[in-house]
Amino acid sequence: MLGDQTSLILDQIRQASAVGQKLQIRGSGTKDFLGFIAPGLVVVETLPHQGVINYRPEELVVTVRSGTRLSELNAVLAGADQYLAFDPPQFGGDPTVGGIVASGLSGPGRPFRGAVRDALLGLTLATSEGTSVHFGGEVMKNVAGYDVSRLMVGAMGTLGCLLDVSLKVMPKPEHESCVSLDVSRDTLVASLSSWHRQAAVTGASFVDGKLLLRFSGSHEEVSRMVSRCAGEVVSGSVFSDLRDLKFSTSGDLLRLSVAANSRYGLDEAIAVDWAGGIRWLEDSGLDFDHLQQGHAVQYFGRSELTERYSPLSSGLQNIHLKLKQEFDSTSLFNYQRLYGAW
């Protein structure tokens, strides 16, 4: 039955290609706010294509179908005290693994535990010709040739439809504790930089005027780090709330990615994540054409924007266009989802 789902997806792609239809790849819909969804696209549903294909806890590798929900995968991993170290956002829903990889979004532990791209070992892709190809592997050490699979991370489905994904998983920390400290914005950059370099730190963020630190490791190591903080121990939910953007109430949210030691956007930010590398702005009205530093993505609000990512440099745009031409020359998949021209 699950093999039939692969055939159905490939058949739908071939039929759409034959008549010039364009396709929207959609899992559970938790990322529908991200990027621009052009009108009139025919939806390819990946949710029926679900299930764990292979899980080897002793090798820290799991392979699943792209429509597998995160809750199902987490339950399987929890049975072996393992987890996805990049802590994918859920945004109040239950995302699919394919959507997690395609969006490339990681949680607050990104600077400490690695990104989605770091965890991806290999994948199977449905191409614009309606065939399936496999890139990468299912082992930790897979270095033969260029790792094409990682091009799909953050591509938002514009290069092909993910069918199967192999991910590196990690043992859960023995102990974890979170602390809240009072820090002024004037000293925030220096504070985040200082804590970023400390052992056992797996989260360093700023929300509601508080510096939030997460420590992970052995009981002894975590206890020692917590004792060094002149702060208050708080629930670990502060980081899951930050991961899922629960601090925002305006319905208008922009993500600004900059150098962690920059002050750009810091005074306007309602939250800071990734040890200073991400600043979240509400009702910013930021004009992408006049962005002074970094890269911006409009998450929620400003529905009039069809270009929801700040423009690429000419060099990067040329690379993107060549990749799109190579993988999907007719713009069959997720047309205009990333950039309006393709």
Domain boundaries, the chain: 2-171, 175-300
Report d(CA 70, CA 185) in Å as an integer. Answer: 36
Closest CA to 130 of 154, 161, 164: 161
Where do we find the tokens 């810091």? 266
Which CATH number describes the domain made up of 2-171? 3.30.465.10
DSSP letters, 145-190, are S--GGGGGTTSTTSS-EEEEEEEE-EEPPSEEEEEEEE--GGGHHH
Report d(CA 38, CA 165) in Å as an integer. Answer: 26
Would you state the pLDDT for residue 12?
97
Report d(CA 305, CA 330) in Å as an integer. Answer: 24
Report d(CA 328, CA 333) in Å as an integer. Answer: 7
Asked whether the CA dihedral 256, 262, 265, 267 is positive or negative, the reply is positive
Q: Distance of alpha carbon 191 from its chain centroid, rounded?
A: 26
Closest CA to 279 of 292, 263, 291: 263
C-beta of residue 50 within 8 angstroms of C-beta of residue 6: no
Query: 282: which DSSP letter?
Result: E
- Compute mean pLDDT per 10 residues along the chain, 342 residues long, and list them: 82 97 97 95 97 97 98 98 97 97 97 96 97 83 69 96 98 97 95 92 96 97 93 94 93 94 95 97 84 94 90 92 94 93 70
281 Cβ partners below 8 Å, 6+ apart? 253, 254, 256, 265, 268, 269, 270
Q: What radius of gyration do the chain's Cα atoms show?
A: 21
Would you state the pLDDT for residue 146?
65
Buried b (16+ CB within 10 A) or exposed e, 239-250: beebbbbebbee
Would you state the pLDDT for residue 1?
44
Would you state the pLDDT for residue 145?
56
Hey, what amino acid is at 85? A
